[in-house]
Amino acid sequence: MRRNTGDHVLAAVPLAWLAVLFLVPLGFTLVYSFGTSGFGSVTLGFSLDNYAQALGPLYLQTFLRTLAFAVGTSIACLLFAYPVAYAIARRSGRFTVVAFALILVPYLASLLIRVMSWQILLAQGGPLERILRAVGLLRSPLTVLDSLPAVVIGTLAVYLPIAVIALTVVLDRIPPEVVEASQDLGARPSSTFWTVIVPLSRPGVATAALLTTVPMLGELVIPVLLGGNKGLFLAQAISTQYAQSQNYALGSAMVVLLVIAVGVIVALLVRLTRGFDAAGAERGAG
């Protein structure tokens, strides 16, 4: 009984923290989203006008474009991250820590510094152009900066470490016995990979997808710095409503819709992570 009380107290601290710093502001946002906006003020009430506007052609298009960007870039991120994670988890031996460090060290630098480094690298007349020219792969000036491909490159670079770590953790937990059993039963390495390792790493894939897609939906810095602030993304649209138009009500409605969309994505991915406990339990039993 006493132990239970202690547990509850312990749980109450982070819960209170979460309630004050997350749920309360979110509650305000929800209330504002039904209000009527003045310039830098909101009159509370119940109106669905903001939602009608947030679902209008421009913002709906912006939402779909942002969703396509986030999902597409997240998939690309996973495709790059998987081989790296596989190598670290199953092939790096005593160099695992070093490999992890190499992945993590850049991640410790501020996001801005990393994105701006890419701005310098990709600039016309910059280092990448000089390298490509030197090896004969490029004759004309490099014009990739301030375009969608530059945004994708920067986003991949920024989110790759997260995906690698999420995948490595799961790949590392796949019991060697399972792989050995597959080989003993005559499976070729490629069949073992596709029929044993990939399905067992599903929770890692889902976690990595979650940890990359969701923040990409709210990405603001990278499109501005590498994409020339062109081609509206959702975070820019929301930020404009709050900061420029001073329309907190419409901004709030857009935030609520985004939170709902993120909720749906999380729910879908949570279904995929169900195998996680099973994989861990097998190893524990083995």
Residues that bind another protein (CB under 8 A): 38-40, 58, 61-62, 112, 116, 119-120, 123-125, 141, 143, 145-146, 148, 220-221, 224-225, 227-232, 236-237, 239-241, 243-247
* Least spacing, CB of residue 269 vs another protein, in Å: 26
* Least spacing, CB of residue 247 vs another protein, in Å: 6
CB 85 within 8 A of CB 171: yes
For residue 235, give Cα distances in angstroms to 8, 133, 136, 247. 37, 36, 39, 15
Structure tokens belonging to residue 113: 């510094």
* Least spacing, CB of residue 14 vs another protein, in Å: 19
Q: 5 or 244, CB closer to another protein? A: 244
Q: At what angle do helices 148-173 and 96-108 cross, to 10 degrees?
A: 140
Q: 141 or 189, CB closer to another protein? A: 141
Q: 82 or 248, CB closer to another protein? A: 248
Q: 220 or 259, CB closer to another protein? A: 220
Q: 198 or 214, CB closer to another protein? A: 214
Q: 195 or 245, CB closer to another protein? A: 245
* Least spacing, CB of residue 161 vs another protein, in Å: 20
* Least spacing, CB of residue 162 vs another protein, in Å: 18
